[in-house]
């Protein structure tokens, strides 16, 4: 069944979109990731204009993270104070990111920026995860090494001014590092159409030293507001949010996520991580390949945003 | 002077009925509506040649049908290898290029139409693309790229021999419109030529519009972007919630 997307102005198969949403949903349910970093490149591959893909994906992430945040709030595993600080940074970052996006659209380099960001981040995250889980599998096989990593305290983070007490996390640290993390994630959310959990979660654990149990809830809390804000900014500056596309992806995604969560329980954590890292590296490889190999068609017709 | 022009115009008007062959044409669709399940469309163009006298001369009559979408400025960019990756480097701003252009003919175009007549009536695609003052020596490369890319998408078509012409009187052809149509008025022209010279020309506009839900969403997104943004978020959240509720219910 073909469906005409009013903002993207292309006609695509509705079942293809539901299926894509479903597959990414299964993966995000299995691995506990948002899936934006997989969905946005997949949308490029099926011919959705990049500007529309990024803005619409931000919209979808808000909706798909919403029920997660409610569950974490109920369990009281959200550090609201830390979340608010991250959020303030995130809003600033998203506002900056949308402006960068609009400026680069005007000079025709937005495709390149988005794709480069993807290659760099997917490459780093995929590579780190791959080697880390290989090590974990090897450790599990050899009986000697099962030592937990000691938590490292970063001296310079404690030396920064503007300290604040975060009770839920049991921390007394400066607000500067969380603000910076927030800004960075906000920029990525606006440019790449991702929630940014894949950057924020490691940063919260290793950089800020937050306890693992509040990390996911707090990052989701920050993500829904930042991506919500990015959606509104994209809608008002670039007119690139496609409501119909978002709803189709979402319905597939929500159902997929439930199935994925059920599969995820049956697999081992290291196996899951290695699978995820291989997938991330594949998407990264495809994007890198397209940038490195001489394209068949050297000319492109400029995309001046969906608004004519 | 004005009187002289008036007399000339009158003389031309009086001469008009003496024209030997006229085209009478119809279209299968008066307007095209882009609906939610729009997947492209096909317009049937048919008609007949009306004659006051037997066909003159030995040369056969030919029919050319053009369908032209609204024109827009277009930026064409060329990729170049920089630091090992392919990036958009040079760009050319083409002042005006039709979003859609189809030419269908009864015979090879070179045979059906002379170059001077093409220039006068602006019939082929090359006449519809305007790129003046770009100041580029390699501008033809950019124009050629635009035509190549849009031809691959089915937006630019040259269908030589696609017009069926029976007994030098009845003709018909079908023009395929792709799914990613730009909104606007599509100009359809039916041109009769003999020996490469235009004998008669009939024009008709086909409006192409988004309708219903498509229209509403598009207008809202452009006229009330903030409300549209908020609505997108609310609808997406509600849809997600409902999908998971239905799924939980189904599982028991």
- Quote the tokens at residue B234: 């609310």
Pairing of strands B71-82, B101-105: unpaired
Interface test with A, best of B240, B248, B249 (most A CBs within 10 A): B240
- Round the average pLDDT of chain B to a whole number and report it: 83
Is B176 within 8 Å of B154 (Cβ atoms)?
yes
Q: What is the pLDDT of residue B65?
A: 92
Select, from the ranges A20-29, A259-268, B11-20, the one with the highest average predicted confidence (pLDDT).
Answer: A20-29
Given a cut of 70, whether residue A306 has pLDDT beyond it is no
Cβ contacts of B76 on chain A, cutoff 8 Å: 299-302
Q: How far apart are the first and last CA of chain A?
A: 27
Give the pLDDT confidence of B138-196 residue by residue, as tens digits: 888 888 888 998 898 888 998 888 899 888 889 999 998 888 888 889 999 999 888 88
A116, part of any domain: yes
CA-closest candidate to residue B143, choices B84, B98, B190, B206: B98
Q: What is the pLDDT of residue A121?
A: 85
Given a cut of 80, whether residue A264 has pLDDT beyond it is no
Given a cut of 80, whether residue A117 has pLDDT beyond it is yes
CA atoms within 13 A on the CB side of B115: 0
Name the domain count of chain A: 1
Mean pLDDT, rounded, for A282-304: 80
For residue B95, report the phi and psi dihedrals to the nearest 5 degrees.
-60, -40
A108 close contact with B: CB closer than 8 A: yes
Q: CA B139: distance to chain centroid?
A: 23
Q: What is the pLDDT of residue B162?
A: 87
Q: What is the pLDDT of residue A303?
A: 54
Query: Who wins on pLDDT, B38 or A271?
Result: B38
A36, part of any domain: yes
Mean pLDDT, rounded, for A41-70: 85
B78 close contact with A: CB closer than 8 A: yes
A100, part of any domain: yes
A188, part of any domain: yes
Interface test with B, best of A35, A301, A308 (most B CBs within 10 A): A301
Q: What is the pLDDT of residue B16?
A: 47
A280, part of any domain: yes
A299, part of any domain: no
Given a cut of 80, whether residue B26 has pLDDT beyond it is yes
- Round the average pLDDT of chain A to a whole number and report it: 82
Mean pLDDT, rounded, for A235-259: 87
A136, part of any domain: yes
Given a cut of 80, whether residue B4 has pLDDT beyond it is no
Query: Who wins on pLDDT, B158 or B240?
Result: B158
Mean pLDDT, rounded, for A105-126: 83
Q: How confident is the model at residue A154 (pLDDT cuts 50, 70, 90)?
A: low
Where would I find the beta strands (DSSP E) of chain A? 2-5, 10-13, 163-166, 171-174, 299-301
Q: What is the pLDDT of residue A157?
A: 67
Q: What is the pLDDT of residue A146?
A: 44
Give the pLDDT confidence of B92-147 residue by residue, as tens digits: 888 888 989 999 999 888 888 888 888 888 888 888 888 777 677 788 888 888 89
Q: What is the pLDDT of residue A152?
A: 52
- Quote the tokens at residue A295: 């394209």
Q: What is the pLDDT of residue B167?
A: 85
Mean pLDDT, rounded, for A64-68: 80
CA angle in degrees (0–180, nearest 5) for B200-B203-B207:
170
Query: Residues 141 to 180 of A: which have CB under 8 A from any B CB?
Result: none
Interaxial angle between packed helices A269-292 and A110-141, expressed in degrees from 0 to 180 and rounded to the nearest 10: 150
CA distance B137 to A257: 55
Query: Who wins on pLDDT, B13 or B198?
Result: B198
> What is the b/e burial string over B140-163, where b = at least 16 CB atoms within 10 angstroms of the residue's CB?
ebbbebbbebbeeeebbbeebebb
A306, part of any domain: no
Look up the domain containing A85 and give its range.
2-142+154-292
3-state secondary structure of A257: helix
pTM for the full predicted model: 0.77
Cβ contacts of B241 on chain A, cutoff 8 Å: 66-67
CA-closest candidate to residue A175, choices A90, A93, A82: A82
Q: How far is CA A63 from CA A75, A188, B178, B217, B246, in A?
A: 20, 18, 33, 19, 16
Given a cut of 60, whether residue B231 has pLDDT beyond it is yes
Q: How confident is the model at residue A44 (pLDDT cuts 50, 70, 90)?
A: confident
């Amino acid at each position: 069944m073909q469906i005409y997307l009013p903002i993207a102005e292309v006609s695509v198969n509705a079942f293809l979109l539901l299926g894509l949403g479903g597959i990414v949903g299964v993966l995000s349910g299995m691995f506990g990731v948002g899936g934006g970093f997989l969905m946005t490149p997949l949308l490029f591959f099926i011919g959705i204009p990049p500007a529309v893909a990024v803005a619409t994906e931000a919209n979808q992430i808000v909706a798909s993270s919403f029920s997660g945040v409610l569950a974490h709030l109920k369990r009281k595993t959200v550090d609201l104070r830390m979340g608010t600080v991250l959020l303030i940074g995130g809003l600033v970052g998203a506002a900056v990111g949308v402006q960068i996006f609009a400026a680069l659209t005007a000079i025709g380099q937005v495709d390149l920026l988005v794709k480069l960001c993807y290659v760099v981040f997917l490459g780093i995250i995929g590579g780190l995860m791959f080697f880390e889980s290989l090590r974990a599998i090897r450790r599990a096989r050899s009986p000697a090494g099962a030592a937990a990593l000691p938590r490292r305290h970063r001296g310079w983070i404690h030396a920064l001014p503007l300290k604040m007490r975060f009770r839920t996390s049991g921390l007394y640290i400066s607000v500067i590092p969380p603000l910076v993390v927030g800004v960075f994630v906000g920029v990525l959310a606006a440019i790449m159409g991702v929630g940014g959990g894949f950057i924020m979660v490691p940063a919260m654990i290793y950089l800020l030293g937050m306890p693992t149990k509040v990390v996911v809830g707090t990052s989701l809390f920050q993500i829904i507001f930042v991506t919500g804000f990015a959606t509104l900014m994209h809608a008002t500056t670039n007119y690139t949010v496609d409501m119909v596309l978002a709803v189709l992806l979402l319905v597939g995604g929500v159902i997929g996520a439930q199935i994925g969560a059920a599969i995820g329980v049956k697999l081992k954590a290291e196996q899951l991580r290695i699978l995820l890292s291989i997938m991330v590296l594949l998407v990264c490889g495809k994007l890198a390949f397209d940038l490195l190999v001489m394209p068949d068609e050297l000319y492109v017709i400029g995309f001046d945003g969906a608004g004519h | 002077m004005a009187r002289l022009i008036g007399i000339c115009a009158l003389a031309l008007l009086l001469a008009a009925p003496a024209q030997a062959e006229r085209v009478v044409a119809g279209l299968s669709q008066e307007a095209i509506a882009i609906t939610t399940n729009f997947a492209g469309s096909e317009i049937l163009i048919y008609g007949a040649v009306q004659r006051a006298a037997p066909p003159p001369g030995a040369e056969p009559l030919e029919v050319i049908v053009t369908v032209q979408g609204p024109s827009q400025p277009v930026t064409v960019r060329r990729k170049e290898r920089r630091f090992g990756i392919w990036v958009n480097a040079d760009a050319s701003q083409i002042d005006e290029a039709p979003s859609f252009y189809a030419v269908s003919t009864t015979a090879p175009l070179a045979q059906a139409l002379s170059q001077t007549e093409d220039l006068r009536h602006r019939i082929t695609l090359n006449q519809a693309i305007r790129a003046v003052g770009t100041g580029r020596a390699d501008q033809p490369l950019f124009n050629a790229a635009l035509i190549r890319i849009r031809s691959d998408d089915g937006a630019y078509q040259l269908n030589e021999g696609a017009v069926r012409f029976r007994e030098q009187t009845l003709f018909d052809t079908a023009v395929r419109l792709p799914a990613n149509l730009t909104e606007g008025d599509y100009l359809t022209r039916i041109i009769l030529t003999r020996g490469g010279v235009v004998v008669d020309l009939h024009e008709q506009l086909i409006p192409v519009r988004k309708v219903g839900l498509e229209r509403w969403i598009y207008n809202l997104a452009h006229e009330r972007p903030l409300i549209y943004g908020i609505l997108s978020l609310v609808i997406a959240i509600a849809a997600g919630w409902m999908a998971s509720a239905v799924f939980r219910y189904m599982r028991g």
